[in-house]
C-alpha cells in the first residue's frame, strides 16, 4: 500500500492518542509514506503546543522531536510546487477546506497522478477526510465521527 498522511494522522504516530494503533499499523504496512513538506512545520507546531499544555514532559518532547526528525528522512516528502498550488487552489470551489488542508489534498492528488497508482489518504480532520473521500481516495480510517 502507498499512503499519504496529513499532519492530523502523522501526529498519532508520535503521540499516543485515539487511533494511534491504526496509524502505526498503516505506516508499517505502507511501502511508501507520502506527506507534504508543510507537515514538518505543522508537526513542530503541534509538538510544541502539546508541551506548552503540559501534556508531555520536556524529556518526552525532546525524544519525540528527535524521533520525528530521524523518521522524516524516510518519508517521501512532496514539495509545494506551482502545480500543487494550482490544484490546491481549485479545491476551494468544491470543499470548505482550510489553506493547509487544501495543500495536503492537492499534494495527494498530484502524487496519485504522478505514481499512477491508488493512494490511501490517512487523515483525522473531518472536512479534509470528507473532501478526500469525495476525490475517490481510499480514506483511512474508513469512517470518522462528526
Domains and CATH numbers, the chain: 2-140 (3.40.50.1010)
Q: How far apart are the first and last CA of the chain?
A: 27
Spatial CB neighbours of 50, under 8 Å, sequence gap ≥ 6 = 15, 56, 61
Q: What is the pLDDT of residue 145?
A: 74
Q: What is the pLDDT of residue 86?
A: 99
The pTM score is 0.95
Q: What is the pLDDT of residue 144?
A: 86
What are 97-135's pLDDT values in tens digits?
999 999 999 999 999 999 989 999 999 999 999 999 999
Residue 103 burial (CB count, 10 A): 24
Instruction: State how far the alpha carbon of 141 is from the alpha carbons of 69, 93, 121, 127, 132, in Å.
Output: 25, 25, 9, 14, 12
Low-confidence ranges of the chain (pLDDT < 50): none
Written as nine digits, the cell of 21 is: 494503533
Amino acid at each position: 500500500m502507498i499512503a499519504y498522511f496529513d499532519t492530523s494522522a502523522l501526529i498519532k504516530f508520535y503521540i499516543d492518542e485515539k487511533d494511534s494503533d491504526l496509524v502505526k499499523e498503516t505506516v508499517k504496512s505502507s511501502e511508501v509514506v507520502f506527506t507534504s513538506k508543510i507537515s514538518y512545520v505543522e508537526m513542530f507546531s503541534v509538538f510544541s503546543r502539546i508541551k506548552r499544555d503540559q501534556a508531555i514532559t520536556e524529556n518526552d518532547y525532546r525524544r519525540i522531536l528527535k524521533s520525528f526528525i530521524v523518521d522524516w528522512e524516510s518519508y517521501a516528502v512532496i514539495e509545494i510546487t506551482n502545480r500543487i498550488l494550482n490544484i490546491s487552489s481549485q479545491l476551494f470551489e468544491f470543499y470548505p477546506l482550510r489553506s493547509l488542508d487544501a495543500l495536503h489534498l492537492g499534494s495527494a492528488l498530484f502524487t496519485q497522478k504522478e505514481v499512477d497508482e491508488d493512494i490511501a489518504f490517512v487523515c483525522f480532520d473531518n472536512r479534509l477526510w470528507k473532501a478526500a473521500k469525495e476525490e475517490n481516495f481510499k480514506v483511512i480510517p474508513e469512517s470518522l465521527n462528526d
